[in-house]
Amino acid sequence: MRKIAIFASGNGSNFEEIAKYKNKYYKVVLLICDKENAYVLDRAKRLNIPSVVVIPKNFSDKSNYETVILNYLIQYKVDFIVLAGYMRLIGHVLLSKYQNKIVNIHPSLLPAFKGLNAIEQAIHYGVKVTGVTIHYIDEGMDTGKIIAQKAVKIDEDMNLDKIKMKIQKVEHRLYKKVIEEIIRKEDDCEESISECI
């Protein structure tokens, strides 16, 4: 059973979906949050999941900030990181310790509409189909290898709120299952390697 830490900055609806998902491959053991009053902290409390708030501006640079986070990850024996509405780039301290073990969800069909306000960007562009992408994290902004995508159709009569709701519904269904699938595949792979030795 893998131990997952979720990083989130705000509302935390994806955090809650993943944390509540019962399965035999992973368990959410920690929430890392970079904002003192984020609603996701209330959700963690309600679900009895330990959380820590680490505020970037209290550190002289990103490496110091991430080293503190890393120490929490070590303390909780975290082996996989899930970003869910975490509004910052991951730096080399975490990337080097968690190579191919950090995933993110983005509310567009990447590589279209990277960065902030992806849904608004898509609407502004006038696309008829947008979607959700789950991808590995690298040093860029929404540039890591794509793991899964799901299209979401935008109908004529939909306003921003409706589109956001439709996208979030898809995120909630998809993210927990994709994480399960990644870890299941990793486990299968490890098992078959040990069988061969």
- Nearest Cα neighbor of 50 from 4, 98, 102, 103 is 4
Among 135, 171, 182, 183, binds ligand GRF (CB under 6 A): 171
Give the whole-angstrom CA distance, residue 62 versus residue 138.
15
> What is the β-pairing status of strands 129-136 and 146-153?
antiparallel
Residue 11 near ligand GRF by CB under 6 A: yes
Among 4, 5, 13, 152, binds ligand GRF (CB under 6 A): 13
Residue 122 near ligand GRF by CB under 6 A: no
Tell me whether residue 59 or residue 148 sits nearer to ligand GRF (CB atom). 148
Sign of the CA dihedral with 98 first, then 12, 141, and 71 last: negative
- Nearest Cα neighbor of 176 from 19, 41, 43, 31 is 19
Question: Is 92 an active-site residue?
Answer: no
Which phi and psi (to 5°) does residue 94 adopt? Answer: -80, -35
Tell me whether residue 66 or residue 171 sits nearer to ligand GRF (CB atom). 171
> In DSSP terms, which residues pair with 150 in a beta bridge?
132
Residues 65-104 that bind ligand GRF (CB under 6 A): 84-85
Tell me whether residue 14 or residue 26 sits nearer to ligand GRF (CB atom). 14
Tell me whether residue 54 or residue 67 sits nearer to ligand GRF (CB atom). 54
**Least gap, CB of 22 to ligand GRF (angstroms):** 19
Give the whole-angstrom CA distance, residue 48 versus residue 45.
5
- Nearest Cα neighbor of 19 from 46, 42, 47, 45 is 47
Place of tokens 């003192």: 36
Number of residues interacting with ligand GRF: please give it, by CB under 6 A: 14
Among 41, 51, 65, 107, binds ligand GRF (CB under 6 A): 107
Residue 144 near ligand GRF by CB under 6 A: no
Active site residues: 106
Interface with ligand GRF (CB under 6 A) = 8, 10-15, 84-85, 105-107, 168, 171
